[in-house]
Structure 1
Amino acid sequence: MNTTTYAVTGMTCGHCEGSVRAEVAKIDGVTAVDVSAASGELVVSSDIALDDDAIFAAVDEAGYSAVRA
Structure 2
Amino acid sequence: MSECFRIIEDGMLEGPYVLGEHYSTADPYLFLMSGWLKSDRVEIADFPRVHAHYRMMLERPAVQKALAEEKAA
Same fold (TM over 0.5): no
Higher fraction of strand: 1
Q: State the structure with more CA Rg.
A: 2
Q: TM-score, normalised by structure 2?
A: 0.27
Question: Which structure is richer in relative contact order (CA contacts within 8 A, separation 6 or more)?
Answer: 1
**TM-score (norm: length of structure 1):** 0.27
Please identify which structure carries the higher helix content. 2
